[in-house]
């Protein structure tokens, strides 16, 4: 497998008044194409911060994140936004669906300019792949939590990204729906060859990933 992401001596600090708080401390990590990595650790360990930095949403204080040997934080803001739109799909604990749009529209609206002409056709195909096409004309308020998360996954996939970043995607779901989301991640990894990075508190679900790392107080304690 080829190296996809290289994280080198990554540090992130925040200022809380006069106090400097370290969210991440000297993290180094490699991810290969088609990897499926789970990041676990207690609340406040820096898991979401690391995910956001990998996805180009939050600049590190020090260190580098390279994607296919290109440092994403040496890119200008517009270039990085374009990279993020093309290469990264995000799925969060809260689904961030637009209540006024139906399921099909919620998925299609995520399409970037290069996919806009075929957005609705692609959205329909994704809904069929995720076995939720029967709900395409429903609105978010008419869906279960598990169905909403499937729609969020479809929207994350609309631009055919290389990497899917998932921040506690099972956090609001019952046990059955949690299992279905993890089965979906496994399917995306094996069938669609997507690189998956999953942040979760759920150790049982994390163990189903190909690799697992643990963060504690901003430090990587196993790799």
Instruction: Please give the full DSSP string across the chain, using - where no structure is assigned.
Output: --EEEEEEEEEEEEEETTEEEEEEEEEEEEEETT-EEEEE--TTSSHHHHHHHHTTSS--SEEEEEETTEEGGGS-HHHHHHHHHHHEEEEESS----TTS-HHHHHHTT--GGGGGGHHHHHHHHHHHTT-GGGTT--GGGS-HHHHHHHHHHHHHTT--SEEEEESTTTTS-HHHHHHHHHHHHHHHHTS--EEEEE-S-HHHHTTSSEEEEEETTEEEE-
Q: Name the strands in the sheet holding 195-199, side by side, starting at the edge strand that comes first in the sequence.
A: 88-92, 163-167, 195-199, 36-40, 211-216, 219-222
Return the pLDDT at 151. 92
2 against 146, higher pLDDT: 146
Mean pLDDT for the stretch of residues 153-163: 91
Q: What is the pTM of this model?
A: 0.89
Mean pLDDT for the stretch of residues 168-179: 82
Asked if pLDDT for residue 42 goes beyond 90, the answer is no
**pLDDT confidence bin for 101, thresholds 50/70/90:** very high
**pLDDT confidence bin for 2, thresholds 50/70/90:** low
**pLDDT confidence bin for 170, thresholds 50/70/90:** confident
Mean pLDDT for the stretch of residues 11-36: 90
Longest dimension (CA), the chain: 54
Return the pLDDT at 89. 92
Question: By the 8 A CB rule, do 91 and 156 touch?
Answer: yes
Return the pLDDT at 65. 96
Return the pLDDT at 211. 94
22 against 93, higher pLDDT: 22
Asked if pLDDT for residue 116 goes beyond 80, the answer is no
Question: By the 8 A CB rule, do 133 and 124 touch?
Answer: yes
Asked if pLDDT for residue 1 goes beyond 60, the answer is no
Q: Which CATH superfamily is domain 34-57+85-222 in?
A: P-loop containing nucleotide triphosphate hydrolases (3.40.50.300)
Mean pLDDT for the stretch of residues 83-110: 89
pLDDT mean across residues, the chain: 90
**pLDDT confidence bin for 115, thresholds 50/70/90:** low
Return the pLDDT at 204. 86
């Amino acid at each position: 497998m080829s190296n996809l992401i290289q994280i080198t001596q990554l540090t992130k600090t925040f200022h809380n008044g006069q106090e400097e708080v370290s969210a991440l401390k000297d993290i180094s990590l490699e991810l290969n194409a088609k990897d499926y990595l789970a990041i676990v650790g207690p609340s406040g360990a820096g898991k979401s911060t690391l995910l956001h930095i990998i996805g180009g949403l939050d600049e590190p204080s020090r260190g580098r994140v390279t994607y296919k040997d290109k440092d994403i934080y040496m890119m200008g803001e517009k270039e990085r936004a374009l990279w993020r739109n093309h290469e990264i799909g995000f799925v969060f604990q809260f689904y961030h669906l637009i209540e006024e749009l139906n399921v099909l529209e919620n998925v299609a609206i995520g399409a970037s300019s290069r996919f806009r002409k075929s957005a609705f056709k692609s959205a329909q195909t994704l809904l069929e792949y995720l076995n939720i096409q029967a709900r395409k004309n429903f609105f978010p308020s008419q869906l279960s939590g598990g169905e909403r998360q499937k729609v969020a996954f479809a929207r994350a996939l609309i631009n055919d990204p290389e990497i899917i970043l998932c921040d506690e995607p099972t956090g609001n779901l019952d046990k059955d729906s949690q299992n279905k989301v993890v089965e979906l991640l496994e399917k995306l990894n094996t069938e669609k060859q997507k690189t998956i990075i999953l942040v979760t508190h759920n150790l049982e679900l994390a163990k189903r990933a190909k690799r697992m790392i643990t963060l504690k107080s901003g430090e990587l304690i196993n790799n």
